[in-house]
Amino acid sequence: MNRPAGHPAIPAPKVGVLLVNLGTPDAPTPDAVRRYLAEFLMDPRVVEIPRAVWWPILHGIILRTRPKRSAHAYAQVWTDRGSPLAAITAAQAEALQARLGPEVVVRWGMRYGNPALGAELAAMKAQGCERILIAPLYPQYSGATTASVLDAVGVGMARLRWQPALRTLPPYYDDPMHIEALRADTARQLAALPFEPEVLLLSFHGMPERTLHLGDPYHCQCLKTARLLAEALGPGAPRIAVSFQSRFGRAKWLEPATDAVIAAEAANGTRRMAIAAPGFSADCLETLEELAIRGREQFQAAGGKEFAALSCLNADDAGMAMLEALTRRELAGWI
């Protein structure tokens, strides 16, 4: 049957993959950081304080003081391609597209900032994607990360008249493919160092401790990732320690804190340290500035000597092979 006259053209049905990471400001400036933080810190999944209490604290104090300090930190790691997190996530999408081929449309978006998830979903639907795999690039599940992504996806879907079918990539914190990718990449980077670390500190992003007591599995999943990675690295690896970084505010956070562990290790005689962040899929402010720059300063100020911050999986071969395998598994029956 011929298409009726005047009927709009409809793209051929396609399958899509939307890679999602946390987000980033558009520029390393106080104004851009302020816009980003306002969106991020007003997410009730991120700050579980009643809005009437939190709004005046956020707008009256935090957004008046923190953007300038954070903009300075971003400026130290900004690249000619923009934010490291955005540049690396774009590279991951490009590499995954090459691996999956033209049968699949691969795009990327950010939970906060740009590219916005709602806009990416609309663009994918306009390209003909009737089935989309949402792939949050968080190995460990948290309400503040994975669940928040799905909240935003729901908002974006609500704006579409013709909605695609969705699947979600599950957390992969203990998936053998993830552990093997971490093992191979960590071992490669350790072997390339000009010194032999006495300790390998595995630093995960922190969360308020109350999230653990409320039933969030994040803490347990981080510890399992660390245990499995330590077992995979084997007895020839440095001593493994685990910590949680990026504390914010006055609430009690998951412990031990990364900065405290770094200082304590140096004070107790550790002179050679490497640090890795197996909860991050891509390098970002928290790894490149907080760990690599400030971590080194903290370690050496406390008496340490040699320090190295290992890269995340990023768009390197080990990480991309894992991501391809995970997405192909979740796309089974669609492609």
Are residues 154 and 33 located together in one domain of the fold?
Answer: yes
pLDDT tens digit string along 204-214? Answer: 999 999 999 99
Region of residue 42 (left: phi > 0; alpha: psi -120 to 50; beta: else): alpha
Are residues 229 and 265 located together in one domain of the fold?
Answer: yes
pLDDT at 25 over 90: yes
Please state, in angstroms and rounded to a whole number, the distance separating the CA atoms of residues 269 and 56: 45
In sign, the C-alpha dihedral spanning 318, 319, 325, 326 is: positive
Are residues 211 and 294 located together in one domain of the fold?
Answer: yes
Q: How many domains does the chain have?
A: 2
Instruction: Please check whether residue 1 lies inside any domain of the structure.
Output: no
Are residues 237 and 122 located together in one domain of the fold?
Answer: no
Residue 165: beta bridge partners? 131
pLDDT at 9 over 90: no
Are residues 167 and 19 located together in one domain of the fold?
Answer: yes
Range of the domain at 55: 14-172+319-330
Which pLDDT score, from 0 to 100, does residue 138 have? 98
- How far apart, in Å, are the Cα atoms of 88 and each of 83, 134, 283? 9, 18, 7
Mean pLDDT of the chain: 96
Find, among 67, 21, 19, 20, the residue nearest to 41 by Cα. 67
Please state, in angstroms and rounded to a whole number, the distance separating the CA atoms of residues 295 and 333: 46
Find, among 138, 134, 118, the residue nearest to 126 by Cα. 118
- Which H or E run includes 123? helix 117-126
pLDDT band at 7 (very low <50, low <70, confident <90, very high): low
| Cα 178 from chain centroid (whole Å) | 14
pLDDT band at 249 (very low <50, low <70, confident <90, very high): confident
- CATH code of 18's domain: 3.40.50.1400
Q: SS3 of 166, please? A: strand
Are residues 163 and 183 located together in one domain of the fold?
Answer: no
- Taking the model in full, what pTM does it have? 0.95
Instruction: Please check whether residue 324 lies inside any domain of the structure.
Output: yes
Are residues 34 and 155 located together in one domain of the fold?
Answer: yes
Instruction: Please check whether residue 62 lies inside any domain of the structure.
Output: yes
Which pLDDT score, from 0 to 100, does residue 250 have? 83
Given a contact cutoff of 8 angstroms between Cβ atoms, the answer to whether 311 and 276 are in contact is: no
3-state secondary structure 244-273: EECCCCCCCECCCEHHHHHHHHHHCCCCEE
Are residues 156 and 28 located together in one domain of the fold?
Answer: yes
Residue 308: beta bridge partners? 274
Percent of the chain with pLDDT over 90: 95
Instruction: Please check whether residue 8 lies inside any domain of the structure.
Output: no
pLDDT tens digit string along 57-103? Answer: 999 999 999 999 999 999 999 999 999 999 999 999 999 999 999 99
Please state the φ and ψ torsions of residue 27, each to the nearest 5 degrees. Answer: -155, 160
Please state, in angstroms and rounded to a whole number, the distance separating the CA atoms of residues 259 and 299: 9
pLDDT tens digit string along 289-321? Answer: 999 999 999 999 999 999 999 999 999 999 999
Are residues 90 and 190 located together in one domain of the fold?
Answer: no
Which pLDDT score, from 0 to 100, does residue 290 have? 98
Taking residue 61's Cβ as centre, other Cβ atoms within 10 Å add up to 10
Instruction: Please check whether residue 27 lies inside any domain of the structure.
Output: yes
**Which strands make up the sheet holding 199-205, listed edge to edge?**
239-245, 199-205, 272-276, 306-309
Structure-block tokens of residue 334: 């669609």
- Which H or E run includes 199? strand 199-205
Given a contact cutoff of 8 angstroms between Cβ atoms, the answer to whether 179 and 228 are in contact is: yes
Instruction: Please check whether residue 5 lies inside any domain of the structure.
Output: no
Please state, in angstroms and rounded to a whole number, the distance separating the CA atoms of residues 63 and 34: 6
Instruction: Please check whether residue 7 lies inside any domain of the structure.
Output: no
Are residues 292 and 324 located together in one domain of the fold?
Answer: no
Structure-block tokens of residue 16: 């899509």
Instruction: Please check whether residue 2 lies inside any domain of the structure.
Output: no
Alpha helices, H only, the chain:
30-41, 51-57, 63-77, 84-100, 117-126, 148-158, 176-192, 209-213, 218-233, 258-267, 285, 296-301, 317-330
Are residues 75 and 100 located together in one domain of the fold?
Answer: yes
Across the range 158-164, mean pLDDT stands at: 97
Are residues 167 and 26 located together in one domain of the fold?
Answer: yes
Question: Residue written as tokens 């939970």?
Answer: 111
- How far apart, in Å, are the Cα atoms of 176 and each of 66, 90, 184, 322? 40, 25, 12, 9
Supply the DSSP symbol for 23.
Answer: E
